Amino acid sequence: MNLKQLITPNKLKVYLISTGHLIHDIYTSFLSPVLPLLIEKFSLTYTLAAYLRLAMRLPSILNPFIGHIADGIGLKYFVALAPAITAIAMSLIGKAPNYFSIIILLIVAGLSSSFFHVPAPVILKRISDKKLGMSMSCFQIGGELSRTIGPIIVVGAISLWSFAGIYRLMPLGIIISIVLLIKLKDEKSITHKSKKHNFKESISTTLRQGKKLIYALLGILLIKSFTASVVSAFLPTYLSFKGYSLWMAGGALSILQAAAIIGVLLTGTISDIIGRRRLLIFVSFCSPLAMLLFLIGIKHALIPVVILLGLISFSSTPVILALIQENNFKYPSIANGIYMTISFLLTSIIVLFFGKIADILGLEKAFLISGLCSFLGLPLVFLIPKDKI
C-alpha cells in the first residue's frame, strides 16, 4: 500500500474520527484508576463503587433512540461535540463534593459517550472503502489506546496537581471537538436523510431482521463482560488491595489496554480475510481460557497474564461492528444502537454483580466466579450468521 492509498480523503476522515474516539475515551477511562481514591474518600463499598460504573452506562438505554435520530437526520454535530462534553464532566470528578455529584457527572459523560459511539460506526461505513474491518480496527484502536494512556495521564495529573486538580485536563477534549466541527461541517456523505419513520416500527423491523445475530452477539457480550469488562473495571482496585502502588495499578491497566490495541488491530484486519464468523468463534473460545490463566498466573507472572488477557478478550469489538454494518439492516444506526445498549447494560449489570460478590466473598473469589460464568455465552456464539462471501 503506497502513501497515496493511506492518505485518501476518506481515509483521512477515518483517522480523524478514530482520533476523536481516542481523545473522547481518554476521559471515560479515568474512572477505573481513580476508583481506589473515590472508595477511600467517600468510604464506598465495592457495590457502591460498581454503581459508579453503572451510572456512566445508564444513558445507553437511549442508544436505539439516538440511532433512530441518526438514521433520520444524521448526528455529525453530536459526534463532534461529544469529546468536549465528556472532557468537562470527567475532569470535574476530582472536585465533586459528594457521591451524588459524581453520579451526575458520570451520567452526563455517559450520555455524551452514547451520542459519539452510536453514529460513529455508521459514518465509518459510509466513508470506508472495501476494507471495512480495517476501518473498524482503526476506530477501535483509538478506543483501546485511550484506555492505555488514559490511566497514565490521570495518575500523572493527580501526582502533579492532586486529585482535585485534574480539571486542568479538559482543554484537549475541547480542542478535538473544534477540529471535528470544522472538518465534518460540510461533509455530505456522512449525513443520511431517510424517509420519516416511526420509532417503534424501526425497532421492531431491526429486531426482526437481526434476531439471530442479536442472540449471537448476546453470547459474545456475556463472555466479554465477565472477562474484559470486569478486569478493566476492577484491576487497579484489586492491585491496590494487594498492596501495589497507584502507579503500578494504573500501569497494569495501561498494559492491559496496550495489549488490547494489538488484538483489535489484528482481528479487524484478519476478519477481512478469513471471515467474521470464524474469527469471532475462535476469540469467544479463547477468552474464558485467558481469564482462567489470568487468575492462575496473576500472583507469579502479572505482566504476561495481563498481556494475554488484553490481547484476546478485548479483540472482538471491531469484528462485531463490521458484522453489524454488513448485515444490511434497513436502519443501520438503530441496529448499532441496539447492540451498544445491550453491550453497555450487560456490562454494567455484570460489573455490579461482581461488586456485590466481592463485598460478600472478597475480590479473589469474585474474579474466579466471573471467570467461570464467562463460559455461559459459548453456546450462543454458534448462531453467528455465515459470512456473505
Distance (Å, whole) CA 291 – CA 258: 17
How many other C-beta atoms can be found within 10 angstroms of the C-beta atom of residue 210? Answer: 21
DSSP 3-state helix, strand, coil percentages of the chain (rounded to 5)? 85, 0, 15
101-114 pLDDT, tens digit per residue, is 999 999 999 999 98
Task: Name the least confident of 89-93, 242-246, 268-272, 315-319.
Answer: 242-246
Amino acid identity at 288: P
Q: What residue has cell string 497494569?
A: 252
What's the pLDDT score for residue 84? 96
Contact 165, 40 (CB under 8 A): no
Give how far the C-alpha of residue 278 lies from the chain's centroid of Cα atoms, to the nearest Å: 22
Angle formed by the axes of helices 317-325 and 211-224, nearest 10°: 170
Annotation: CATH topology of 9-381: Growth Hormone; Chain: A; (1.20.1250)
In the chain, % of residues over pLDDT 70: 89
Distance (Å, whole) CA 263 – CA 260: 5
Confidence of residue 82 (pLDDT cuts 50, 70, 90): very high
Q: Taking the model in full, what pTM does it have?
A: 0.70
Burial class (CB in 10 A: 0-12, 13-18, 19+), 343: buried
337-375 pLDDT, tens digit per residue, is 788 788 878 888 898 889 889 899 988 889 889 989 999
Distance (Å, whole) CA 74 – CA 194: 9
